Structure 1
Amino acid sequence: FKGLNLPVERVSWYDVVEWCARLSKRIGKPYRLPSEAEWEYAARAGTTSPFHVGDTLTTYLANYNGSYTYGSGPKGAYRQKTTPVGQFQQANAFGLYDIHGNVWEWCADPWHDSYKGAPSDGGVWDAGNDNRYQNYIEYLVNFLSNTNRRGRVLRGGSWNNNPGICRCAFRDWFVPDFLVNSLGFRVACAPPTLSP
């Protein structure tokens, strides 16, 4: 989709990891995709409801397929495209906009069917995140040479999903090279790693 302030979309997980590596090099701080746990923590911003705005969602609060409802929420608009970032002016308590809908957001983690064995510190759930790789460029090179590639986690739902899929807890995955106009990203500035 074309237009001012629209979210970046139609990017693969590979594209985003490379972009984060380039941004990190240019800015001098470690930017990366958030882990799945970090994404949900940031999305909830201290809430326990399905959405950071409460128990239901309306198309006055987020961009999703309003032909469908969640809970007691009403039907609404189905815009059939992305909307400008922050258009709904419904930031969560952490100041983050468009947590629900607009575009799916890639996470760093590979897909797992359950949370059994997930890292307890909220970090990226991946064997490549065990300090063997000091930066994401090394990690990406290793990942690309691995023939056993798993899908990568997506969170947040998009403009073409029903509101239930846009819940804070909903998770899905796609293969890392998948490209559609509903896939985007949000980056995190990682804390620096401490050397022993």
Structure 2
Amino acid sequence: MRNILLSLVLLFAAISSALAQELTVKSFKLAGSDLTAQTQYRKDLNDRNCALIKVGIGLQGVQFEGGIMGNVENKTGEYWVYMPQGNRQLKVKHANYAPVMVTFADYGVEKLESNRTYELIVVTYPQYAITQNVTNQSLDSQHSTPQTHPTVSDNTISIPVKDGISIDMVRVEAGTFTMGATAEMKDPWKEEKPTHQVTLTNDYYIGKYEVTQALWKAVMGNNPSNFKGDNLPVEMVSWDDCQEFISKLNRITGKTFRLPTEAEWEYAARGGNKSRGYQYSGSNNLSDVAWFFDNSGSKTHAVGTKQANELGIYDMSGNVWEWCQDWYGKYKRSSQVNPTGANSGSNRVRRGGSWGTTARACRSSCRHYDSLFDLGRFRGLRLVLSE
């Protein structure tokens, strides 16, 4: 009897592990100004032009079901799925995730129209209810296979701003880490040395995503970005622009948002006290977690479409550089507590690499800097909320 119960527990754990991650829809909408369905068309069986769904998901090996015409095209950073007009659903599947059925009416599209292009953003999300507290301690010693995806904390908050826009934030617990060019960081720059111990004594919340254009527009009433799209990270913003944005955001919400210190940024990028010692934020395979020079197609991508890091934070490697609060200064060997950078200077720190940088610049220890007034298609921001 005891062996039977143990077998059932192991079977349940195996099923739970298999379903520990699911696919979920972030957005689905008509891309009104996108003429791809007309210019790169595919005919249905009635000789009418199909609808085209561009699926941004950031995973390889994705499969689709639901009246698809011809082969799915795997483009840089997205899949092109052609479907006849009138279709109402599309199923998205991947071997490592529970599938998702996309019912178009749930997103204001009753059915697909011929000759129209649609944009579907699908992200990965952990199903914690399945795996939480299910004899984890007793089974840990019996399962030594490493997990292929980070274990993501559900310790998040969502803060409403306006017009239905909110800010999702992840709690980062206080802790001590080694900052700079640690052993796993390949080919570091001199600016990342020497390594030094840093202790952050206070918990803080950091943005789950980079600030999007939708959020920026809700606060500022404008969109300076070169690459347009509500779910794309805002760019073409200087450090001074970010301060103005944060000041207005704080007046709207009554909260105290700010840019992260450089130490807070690196600690969160490394996974905080859940860190597994990856070179990039969430993986040693950069393509899993980042839009960068090799896979971006020379543009930004919707936030949260790559794999999250150990804390459940997205895009801390790649997509856009993220401004930090600190003045840039050289590192010292001495241990530090709650460092805030140099006392003064002419340049502010930016972190994380971007869609246009090589892998070297996307490492969690990499640091660069610019003047307060520099802006460009590579620079954006992520928020921090102090407790």
Question: What are the superposed Cα offsets for residues 22-42 of structure 1, whole Å, 9 maximum, x if unpaired?
Answer: 212221121000000000011
**Identity between Structure 1 and Structure 2 (%):** 39
Partner of 2:328: 111
Counterparts in 2 of 1:117 and 1:32: CA distance versus 1, 3 Å: farther
In 1, the alpha carbon distance for the partners of 2:236 and 2:311 equals: 26
| Number of positions where the alignment pairs a residue of Structure 1 with one of Structure 2 | 158
Please, what TM-score do these two structures have when normalized by structure 2?
0.39
Q: What secondary structure sits across from 1:153 in the alignment? A: strand
> How far 1:153 moved relative to its partner?
0.3
Structure 2 portions without partners, runs of 5+: 1-226
Question: What are the superposed Cα offsets for residues 71-120 of structure 1, whole Å, 9 maximum, x if unpaired?
Answer: xxxxxx341010001112x11122211111000000000011224578x2
> How far 1:149 moved relative to its partner?
4.6
Q: Please point out which of 122, 125, 129 is paired with 2:341.
A: 125
Q: Please point out which of 68, 84, 99 is paired with 2:302.
A: 84
Q: Is 1:101 matched up with 2:330?
A: no
Partner of 2:278: 49
Structure 1 portions without partners, runs of 5+: 67-76, 128-147, 192-196
Q: Please point out which of 257, 261, 267 is paired with 1:31.
A: 257
Give the structure with the larger strand fraction.
2
In 2, the alpha carbon distance for the partners of 1:20 and 1:115 equals: 30
Partner of 2:358: 162
Q: Please point out which of 232, 241, 245 is paired with 1:15.
A: 241
Report the residue type matching 1:65 in the other structure: F
Q: Is 1:180 matched up with 2:386?
A: no
Instruction: Note the aligned Cα RMSD (angstroms).
Output: 1.8
Please, what TM-score do these two structures have when normalized by structure 1?
0.74
Partner of 2:12: none
Report the residue type matching 1:12 in the other structure: S
In 2, the alpha carbon distance for the partners of 1:149 and 1:61 equals: 33
In 2, the alpha carbon distance for the partners of 1:48 and 1:187 equals: 24
- Native 8 Å contact 2:234 2:380 kept in 1: yes
> How far 1:55 moved relative to its partner?
2.7
Partner of 2:38: none
Report the residue type matching 1:79 in the other structure: G
In 2, the alpha carbon distance for the partners of 1:166 and 1:173 equals: 14
In 1, the alpha carbon distance for the partners of 2:339 and 2:252 equals: 24
In 2, the alpha carbon distance for the partners of 1:115 and 1:24 equals: 34
> How far 1:155 moved relative to its partner?
0.3
Counterparts in 2 of 1:110 and 1:4: CA distance versus 1, 3 Å: same
> How far 1:49 moved relative to its partner?
2.0
In 2, the alpha carbon distance for the partners of 1:189 and 1:159 equals: 26
Report the residue type matching 1:154 in the other structure: R
Higher gyration radius (CA): 2
Q: What secondary structure sits across from 2:337 in the alignment? A: coil
> How far 1:53 moved relative to its partner?
2.9
Question: What are the superposed Cα offsets for residues 153-181 of structure 1, whole Å, 9 maximum, x if unpaired?
Answer: 00000000001100100000011100101
